[in-house]
Amino acid sequence: MKSKALIISLTGTKLSKMEKVLLSKEKPWGVILFKRNLKSLNQIKNLTSQIRKLTKNKKFPIIIDEEGDNVSRLKNIIKHNISANFFGKLYNENKTFCLKLFKHYIFSLSKILKNLGININTIPVLDVLRNNTNKIIGNRSFSKDKKIVKELGALTVEYLRLNKIYGVIKHIPGHGASVSDSHKKLPRIPFSFKKLDKTDFYPFKQSKAKFAMTAHILYSKLDNKYPVTHSKKIIKNIIRKKLKFKGILISDDISMKALKYDLIANAKKSLDAGCNLALYCAGNINDNLKLIKSLPYIDKFTSKKTSEFYKFLR
């Protein structure tokens, strides 16, 4: 499974000449799509089809972040103004009805994504809300109740899988304690391991998800130098050992301002720390090319897990 440890992003609704060259000649692990790439149902189908022709891979990973409401890349194409928090509140009011409706919702969303040629959705958000959680998480979280977050998160992963789509749990090991936005600056959390383990880490423990995305957060009591995405200590001792996550670990976007180095350094530090793939979301073709030339091929573990993903799609 020879591909670079990089998920690239695109500039617009059509592939540029350079993007065509990148997809056909280079070996990105996958592509992530954003609102800027999505104009209509037919246009998206044509785009995903072209990506797979150029990569000569019918199962090439094409990813979207379709959470609903505030984070909906398909907002202008499908009516999708529902949030994870809506289901968390409904769970409290009527659990039976909530679970039936939630299953129907994930199945319906999955059908749309499959029809568009998308095989990975970066849900569920497993961050547990607090009173002062930054609004960048907000209603993307199911609940302040860690048990509701864990149950609805596990069901999301299962229902996506039943529809031949993989989910990505995020933001491991938990973003709910953050009062600042990691797109703009590095959040710093002073809580002890015990406090974090009791609440924030809880929904991520022993998840059956095959993919997880890191949090760009500095937990000063666990690693006072590096944020999770760049922390060997946290990835090895917390994510892999304590939470027992056994799948492919993807960095959050390496162009976010929470990471202080240039793109190539951010990507390399992510991989050196234990992320299996670096995620780049800004869509600049020159940066895509620089990154793909600079980063290594995926390791044996990631290759094995990618092969399992391809077999799952049969």
**DSSP string over 264-305:** HHHHHHHHHHT-SEEE--S--HHHHHHHHHHSPBP-HHHHHH
CA angle 83, 89, 93 (to 5 degrees): 140
Distance CA 86, CA 163 (A): 22
CB 124 within 8 A of CB 153: yes
* Helices and strands, counts by H and E, the chain: 10, 12
CB 31 within 8 A of CB 4: no
Distance CA 75, CA 167 (A): 19
Structure confidence at residue 1 (pLDDT): 61
Structure confidence at residue 43 (pLDDT): 97
Residue 37 tokens read as 């790439």
CB 278 within 8 A of CB 253: no
CB 239 within 8 A of CB 265: no
CA-atom Rg of the chain in angstroms = 18
Q: What are phi and psi of 70, to 5 degrees?
A: -65, -30
Q: How far apart are the first and last CA of the chain?
A: 17
Residue length, the chain? 314
CB 269 within 8 A of CB 261: yes
Nearest to 8 by CA among 274, 224, 281, 271: 281
- Provide the residue-wise pLDDT of the chain in tens; the chain has 314 residues: 689 999 999 999 999 999 999 999 999 999 999 999 999 999 999 999 999 999 999 999 999 999 988 888 998 888 788 999 999 999 999 999 999 999 999 999 999 999 999 999 999 999 999 988 888 898 999 999 999 999 999 999 999 999 999 999 999 999 888 888 788 889 999 999 999 999 999 999 999 999 999 999 999 999 999 999 999 999 999 999 999 999 999 999 999 989 999 999 999 999 999 999 999 999 999 999 999 999 999 999 999 999 999 999 98
Please count the other Cβ atoms lying within 10 Å of the Cβ belonging to residue 40: 11
Distance CA 86, CA 92 (A): 10
